[in-house]
Amino acid sequence: MRVTIVGGGIAGLSTAWSLAKQGHDITLIEQGSIPNPLAASGDRHRMIRRAYGDADGYARTIAEALDSWDLLWNDLGVSHYANCGVLGISQFAGDGAEQFRAGLDRMAFEYEYFDAAEAATRYPFLDPSAFRYAYLDHDGGALFSERIARDIKAWLKMRGVDVRLHTRAVSLDPHTASVRLEDDTLVQADRLVVAAGAWTLRLFPSLAEKLMTFRNAVVYLEPPEDLEEAWANAPAIVDIGGKSDGYVLPPIDGVGLKFGAGLHKTIAENPDANRDPTAGEGERIRRMFSPPFSRLDEYTVSEVKTCAYTFTADRRFFSTRIGNTLVVSACSGHGYKFGAAAGRRIAQALETGDDATLARWLRAETV
């Protein structure tokens, strides 16, 4: 089968990986580089965690997600996963961290519980007067997304996949699975997969009923010297409690200490607009993390990185079939961890024609 894939984020790359393994003839079209720093998959690391609040379907799918990453590491000859564990920190009853903990309890996933004093002894960057308790799930951690993209790209090229970088699909015909490029050439295949992330609505404006695009930014911080070691050995933090929807990725293996917050996101009609950080944006994000961290004004902002991503109303993932084209959006701010598994599922749907199973899996309705 000839398949064209539009989008070289984790969804497009792992679909190409999975289809190439089955011997299909693949063309992958990416408007930027791979990794593309403007894409949702284009950052240094992303979190994989079992804590999933009330979305038990996604919590159950984590085992498949981890197995699929293992298959990928096997093919790449290297693992890009650090199993550093995942911490939740609750500031008040019923906050996001407490909901994540309730999800772990419902799933009977084990974790360690620390009162605030114990947690601050273990993690000296925390202010024990600013939160109620913390819990550590030893499963989960960080996926090194830039390294993953680079290595899949190299693997695809080695397998003879036609990887076209800096090549934009300007229009397409979903029924004939043909894509028109900027230089007016046509790429024709038997099937088309569109995994265009925040740019999906440019190719399918009618999907605006289902998908909403947002801008957000993350900040990379340099901690004070006496806290460097504590951070180097820290787990990922799924939720800092309170209202900011804040999370942290630790500086493992030199990738940098990253803070991000759901509260910072704003609606973006155009995914390419406002991609330069605004003055003081890094400091504004940093402020959202006190409480529960102490001495945050001693942390230096080293980089602010903007991103564009797409959400559905219920924060699940989405796919739809139009003619010979499958449009997939595995994001809603939490899709990276399922990247390798999503690629395998998308490839399976193309081979079997069973789009309904794929759509249910993406919505975590069946596992």
Ligand X SMILES: Cc1cc2nc3c(=O)[nH]c(=O)nc-3n(C[C@H](O)[C@H](O)[C@H](O)COP(=O)(O)OP(=O)(O)OC[C@H]3O[C@@H](n4cnc5c(N)ncnc54)[C@H](O)[C@@H]3O)c2cc1C
**Closer residue to ligand X in complex, CB, 241/335:** 335
**Closer residue to ligand X in complex, CB, 13/227:** 13
Give min distance, CB of 208 to ligand X, in A: 15
Give min distance, CB of 144 to ligand X, in A: 12
Give min distance, CB of 232 to ligand X, in A: 19
**Closer residue to ligand X in complex, CB, 246/335:** 335
Residue 286 near residue 259, CB atoms below 8 Å:
yes
Give min distance, CB of 95 to ligand X, in A: 18
**Closer residue to ligand X in complex, CB, 39/136:** 39
CA distances from 111 to 104, 137, 232, 337 (A): 8, 4, 21, 20
**Closer residue to ligand X in complex, CB, 130/309:** 309
Residue 119 near residue 166, CB atoms below 8 Å:
no
Give min distance, CB of 166 to ligand X, in A: 9
**Closer residue to ligand X in complex, CB, 97/169:** 169
Residue 1 near residue 350, CB atoms below 8 Å:
yes
Residue 122 near residue 235, CB atoms below 8 Å:
no
* CA pair distance 312, 334, nearest whole angstrom: 12
* CA pair distance 103, 80, nearest whole angstrom: 27
Give min distance, CB of 115 to ligand X, in A: 27
**Closer residue to ligand X in complex, CB, 181/230:** 181
Give min distance, CB of 191 to ligand X, in A: 17
Residue for token pair 């080695």: 158
**Closer residue to ligand X in complex, CB, 225/314:** 314
Burial of 290 (0-12, 13-18, 19+ CB in 10 A): middle
Give min distance, CB of 225 to ligand X, in A: 27
Give min distance, CB of 249 to ligand X, in A: 7
Nearest residue to the partner ligand X, using Cβ: 9
Q: In the complex, which residues of this chain contact ligand X (CB under 6 A)? A: 6-12, 29-32, 36, 39-41, 46-47, 168-169, 195-199, 203, 216, 218, 260, 307, 309, 330-331, 333-337
End-to-end alpha-carbon separation of the chain, Å?
27
Give min distance, CB of 121 to ligand X, in A: 27
**Closer residue to ligand X in complex, CB, 126/198:** 198
CA distances from 236 to 83, 255, 289, 349 (A): 9, 13, 14, 33
**Closer residue to ligand X in complex, CB, 147/334:** 334
